Amino acid sequence: MIVRPVQVTDLPALLALVRQAGRGLSALPAEEERLNHRLRWAKRTFAEQVERADADYLFVLEDDDQQVVGVSAVAGAVGLREPWYNYRVGLTVSSSQDLGIQRHMTTLFLSNEMTGQSGLCTLFLRPDQRLGGQGRLLSLSRLLFVAEFPHLFGDKLIAELRGSADEQGCSPFWDSVGRHFFKMDFSHADHLSGLGNKSFIAELMPRQPIYTCLLTEQAQAVIGKPHANSEAALKILSAEGFAHKGYVDIFDAGPVIEAPTSDIRTVRDSQLLDLVIGAPDDQAPVWLIHNRRLENCRVTAAQARQSGHSLVVDRATAKRLQLQPGDSVRAVPLLNQQQQAVAA
């Protein structure tokens, strides 16, 4: 398995993948023309032809049979073209000493705080592939990429996780808030947002702070809660040092998790090592390895042994990375499930 930048020729495979994803992947449009546009844009991004504000690093996960089974992306910066909105979950305190009453009211404040930060997004792995380390490879390869090219990214990385919704795709938070202002179903708003038509958000969003006690109980209960399908992604990134600092999605109140770029485990602990081809033993830990290239980026996960400044991998791994012995790699041990739990 490798993670590499998307190519224009991936279009049919991606279309199939997107259609399979259904509702959960609003950022990747199911319409061919729009998807094609995104692929072309990603290509320009990897060719370093776009500004950070427009950078869209879209990766695919490909197996050894050249089947595309997953996608993930990182945006160079959010909110520098069209404003990026979140709700900050804050507190309003009011008190009357005379009456001996004090009230702590959870309040949602509309905010643009994430402006300029880099954003992890568009994560999808075909359900039959969600075993072993594929999810971690797909998600964390982006972080290794960021580690290699920090000048292309911001001081902070954020990830907006999908919020709670029922099987019909109804979000209780949307029904209590957004619906009154947008006059459309959640899925439609989500779809529009995913298409990149975000000006409607600015035009229709309620700008005044919202007291959560005025929301339905179900809506209050989902504020900051990720959708069940996002739990795995949350675990992986939490182990990397991402944390929820009180910001949520304005549509479904899903949590925004964030981390200072330099504090992210993969970024902080990754090392530059020289590739050595050999035969790592069965007990050798799995490493996340990047060939340090941009346009020809390759990231893979493989058992490897560190020896001084060298990383010993097998021949197949070197081939996947398109590297020769002695070439430089950026690598970090991939935490397994147990270690993840400890780190989180």
Query: Which residue of 11, 15, 80, 105 would you call a contact of another protein, by CB under 8 A?
Result: 105
Q: Can residue 50 be called a binding residue for another protein (CB under 8 A)?
A: no
Q: Can residue 336 be called a binding residue for another protein (CB under 8 A)?
A: no
204 by DSSP, 3-state: which? helix
Q: Can residue 122 be called a binding residue for another protein (CB under 8 A)?
A: no
Q: Can residue 214 be called a binding residue for another protein (CB under 8 A)?
A: yes
The CB-of-183 to another protein minimum distance in angstroms stands at: 6
Per-residue DSSP letter, 334:
P
Q: Can residue 217 be called a binding residue for another protein (CB under 8 A)?
A: no
CA distances from 77 to 120, 152, 156, 209, 309 (A): 10, 9, 10, 26, 34
The CB-of-200 to another protein minimum distance in angstroms stands at: 4
Query: Which residue of 20, 49, 67, 92 would you call a contact of another protein, by CB under 8 A?
Result: 92
Residue 4 CB partners (closer than 8 Å, separation 6+): 59, 60, 62, 296, 297, 298, 299
Q: Can residue 181 be called a binding residue for another protein (CB under 8 A)?
A: yes
Count H helices, E strands: the chain? 12, 16
Query: Which residue of 107, 115, 193, 340 would you call a contact of another protein, by CB under 8 A?
Result: 107
Binding to another protein (CB under 8 A): which residues in 160-179?
A: 176-177
Residue 294 CB partners (closer than 8 Å, separation 6+): 46, 48, 149
Tokens of 198: 């975000």
Binding to another protein (CB under 8 A): which residues in 134-163?
A: none
To which residue do tokens 């073209």 refer? Answer: 81
The CB-of-150 to another protein minimum distance in angstroms stands at: 37
The CB-of-178 to another protein minimum distance in angstroms stands at: 11
Does 244 qualify as catalytic in the annotation?
A: no
Residue 137 and residue 61 in contact, taking contact as beta carbons nearer than 8 Å: yes
Q: Can residue 110 be called a binding residue for another protein (CB under 8 A)?
A: no
Q: Can residue 60 be called a binding residue for another protein (CB under 8 A)?
A: no
Whole-angstrom Cα distance, residue 63 to residue 67? 5
The CB-of-181 to another protein minimum distance in angstroms stands at: 6
The CB-of-103 to another protein minimum distance in angstroms stands at: 6
Whole-angstrom Cα distance, residue 67 to residue 269? 31
Whole-angstrom Cα distance, residue 295 to residue 339? 32
The CB-of-79 to another protein minimum distance in angstroms stands at: 19
The smaller minimum CB distance to another protein, of residues 216 and 307, is found at 216
Binding to another protein (CB under 8 A): which residues in 184-213?
A: 192, 197, 199-200, 203-211, 213
The smaller minimum CB distance to another protein, of residues 98 and 282, is found at 98
Find, among 80, 75, 76, 57, the residue nearest to 3 by Cα.
57
Whole-angstrom Cα distance, residue 264 to residue 288? 14
Marked catalytic residue, from 37, 151, 180, 227: 227
Query: Which residue of 130, 180, 309, 315 would you call a contact of another protein, by CB under 8 A?
Result: 180
Q: Can residue 98 be called a binding residue for another protein (CB under 8 A)?
A: yes
Q: How far apart are the first and last CA of the chain?
A: 26
CA distances from 275 to 3, 15, 225, 253, 286 (A): 18, 36, 42, 44, 15
Q: How many CB atoms lie within 10 A of CB 240?
A: 26
Tokens of 334: 């991939």
Residues lying near another protein in the complex (CB under 8 A): 92, 94-96, 98-99, 101, 103, 105, 107, 176-177, 180-183, 192, 197, 199-200, 203-211, 213-215
Kindly list the catalytic residues. 227
